[in-house]
A and B are shown apart, each in its own frame.
Chain A
Amino acid sequence: MRNDTDIAIVSWATTPMVRQTGNTETQLLLHAITDALEPVGLTRADVDFTCAGSCDYISGATFSFVGNLDAIGAWPPKRDSHVEMDGAWAMYEAWLRLHHGDIEIAVVTGSGRSSTANPALIYPMEMDPYYLAPLGVDPLTFAALQARALIDAGKITERDMAEVAVRSRRDAKSNPHAQVTGNFDVDKLLEEDYVRAPLRRHDLPPITDGACAVVLATARRAEQLRERPAWITGLEHRTECHNPALRELTDSPSTRIAAEAAGIGDGPIDLAELQAAFTHEELLLREVLGLDDSVPVNQSGGALAANPIMATGLVRISEAARHIVEGDKQRTLAHSTSGPCLQQNLVCILEGDS
């Protein structure tokens, strides 16, 4: 039995993950929200709270999230909020709000259309504007620095990284929404040139347009809506110092603290979905979270198969919830991240009724 204050994921949906969509962000969300509500027999009128995650810089317009109210269907007016972060943090805000006990159903979204933007141009804008942004250092460069640090520390090899890519792309074949899938050979991948040493093309995520919606419910409704809801038994996030030069790049202490606070040690983890947009990040996060080879990680293909920025973390949560609701797993973990070299990290632990 669950307490009235327990909160669960009861449904989710993602749009197709594609290199470039003809849809606007509002249209993507319109479909994602409708598709998430329909399987549990809810309509927009049943939704008590909405919270969106998106980013003006990705959209290229100030207040870009305002137009997305059309997709939410905020009429009559809704309790609604927005975080300028991945939808995973929008879920954190919705989870807090549901604790009040006066509302029962929340819809959380994440959305981004990276195809209209140039990530290499935009991402330096999220750095310290005085010291780091003027360097014009893009996400690939920061990722390469971290990968190099891990290799130099003897924690991983380029072959380990290529193996992550091969496994992700193979697993992604069973994910109808994945963008990069197929059978690849580790040795052949390792013959390719570097994009930014030690990163090769297969170590990088694709540029993706897409959106995700997740439906949360408090215990009373969750048990009506799903036979086996995915209960949120731990949800924590932590940040670190911004400057990568002042951090230990071969570690991710904020992930570790968040996971411990979320109760990772209270039982075995049966499956994990990690927001690892670069191959080495999966290896680092696995180590930090203590996930040995017996724990399946990113069976969906993960961010290496589709990386809809601002939704990538929320997609991880929805994938981790899927395995609970569908009944093949008992306790799963989802992870989301923000900032250069995994600066800020969120960990969500989901459990099914036994």
Chain B
Amino acid sequence: MSFQPTAIVGIGQTHHTPRRRDVSFPGLIREAAVRALDDAQMTWSDIDAVVLGKAPDLFEGVMKPELYMSDALGATGKPMFRVHTAGSVGGTTGIVASHHVQAGVHTRVMAVAFEKQSEGNAQFALGSGRGASLGAGGAFAPFIRSYINRSGAPEHIGWQVAVKDRQNALKNEYAHLKIADISIEKVRESPMMWEPIRYLESCPSSDGACAVIFTDEDGGNAAASDGRQPAWVLGTAVRSEPGSFPGRDAVRPQGAIDCAWDLYGQVGITNPREQIDMAELYVPFSWFEPIWLEGHDIAEVGEGWKMVDSGETEIGGAFPVNCSGGVLSSNPIGASGLLRFAEAALQVRGMAGEHQVDGANVALGQAYGANMQYFAMWIVANSLDPFG
């Protein structure tokens, strides 16, 4: 392949909360964008192009919000466009922004993704404006039940993921949900929402934004020689498949498998569990951690839950997952995918603070969307040749 090496040199996010009544949409995204610029030691005039991502417009009731946020994004006079690939959109936003640099079209590009869910009613919007929507949990519960039946996983696996991610969130200054006394008992006793998903196994509804700045090889090397470790984008991949047809396996979607192996092939990964040091997976409901560990062939089929059970996916475990607290702790939907991708980059830059994984040289970011049918993934590393 002929693409140009691409480095992440700036990352910013907001403090994620149930509602940010003190800021408008532009105010919200600008917080994340300015933090990313500060991190990259850049100003608005350094940015060549902006890619905006968010989930459905009906969430906030503003159609094509990129139009009204052009000034706040510093995009006046510049290229800017808006991607929307359902729940995977944050991931896709990062990928499309990176493609500007990889294609050699622009040198410094900003990806911004946000959701200000307090402005609307996500459950209502997910039902396309029809009342009594079952929401995302209602759509995914049957798949989760099917996963449990197939794998024979014990019920406590979901609770365990919920506790782990919430404990990780206590170490992340930007996380929304911080439940200091989180415990297996507390999750187990929380109300059943969509059987088998309990309240504390579910993601919150958050206001928040994330911004990531990409630059070319020279820019990445300049940051490195200045003592600012860049994250190199070693590969990106997306896949989509229709939401239903006879023979579709929604528990182990082919799109997930194909996306992962496209990505692994680009990076030279043959054994993801060994060669990847940590992963941020899109886990809006606890059981998606084992589902995606298997879906992306990090664990054998039917074995993902055992990685959870043995503590392997904890910070300090052999394969840490969602050290930031993940989607279970902060879920501004449109931004959630980019937050996963950004956390992977923070980890390989050694900038993840209290939730830093020791020796994180190669990290995976993943997001999925719609009826478990849209996938976006990337692998970032602290060098262009991490496997020597």
Check A241 against B81 for contact (C-beta < 8 Å). no
Spot the interface stretch: A17-25, A127-135, A275-283: A127-135
State whether the Cβ of B96 lies closer than 8 Å to any Cβ in chain A.
yes
Check B77 against A79 for contact (C-beta < 8 Å). no
State whether the Cβ of B191 lies closer than 8 Å to any Cβ in chain A.
no
State whether the Cβ of A223 lies closer than 8 Å to any Cβ in chain B.
no
Q: How far is the CB of A30 from chain B (nearest CB, A)?
A: 13
Tell me the B50-95 residues at the A interface (CB within 8 Å): 56-58, 60-64, 66-71, 75-86, 92
Check B86 against A97 for contact (C-beta < 8 Å). no
Main secondary structure of the interface of A (DSSP, over half): mixed
Main secondary structure of the interface of B (DSSP, over half): loop
Cβ contacts B264-306/A at 8 Å (1 or 0 each): 0000000000000000000000000000000000000000000
Give every chain A residue within 8 A of B41 (Cβ-Cβ). none
Neighbour of B77 across the interface among A61, A92, A97, A253, CB < 8 A: A253
Give every chain B residue within 8 A of A125 (Cβ-Cβ). 57, 61-63
Neighbour of A84 across the interface among B78, B84, B243, CB < 8 A: B84
* B contact residues, total (Cβ < 8 Å): 63
Tell me the A98-151 residues at the B interface (CB within 8 Å): 99-102, 122-123, 125-130, 132-133
- A56 and B86 CA atoms in complex are apart in Å by 11
Q: How many A-B residue pairs have CB under 8 A?
A: 187
Tell me the A263-316 residues at the B interface (CB within 8 Å): none
Check A239 against B76 for contact (C-beta < 8 Å). yes
Check B128 against A61 for contact (C-beta < 8 Å). yes
Give every chain B residue within 8 A of A75 (Cβ-Cβ). 241-242, 245
Give every chain A residue within 8 A of B82 (Cβ-Cβ). 83-85, 89
- A2 and B60 CA atoms in complex are apart in Å by 46
Tell me the B1-48 residues at the A interface (CB within 8 Å): 1-3, 24-25
- A338 and B69 CA atoms in complex are apart in Å by 14
Check A57 against B75 for contact (C-beta < 8 Å). no
Neighbour of A257 across the interface among B77, B80, B86, CB < 8 A: B77
Q: Which of B2, B56, B81 has the most CB of A within 10 A?
A: B81
Q: Which 8 residue pairs are nearest across A and B when measured between Cβ atoms?
A: A99-B103, A77-B255, A80-B240, A101-B2, A77-B241, A61-B128, A126-B63, A125-B63
Interface of B with A (CB < 8 Å)?
1-3, 24-25, 56-58, 60-64, 66-71, 75-86, 92, 96, 99-100, 102-105, 125-129, 237-243, 245, 253-255, 258-259, 262, 370-371, 373-375
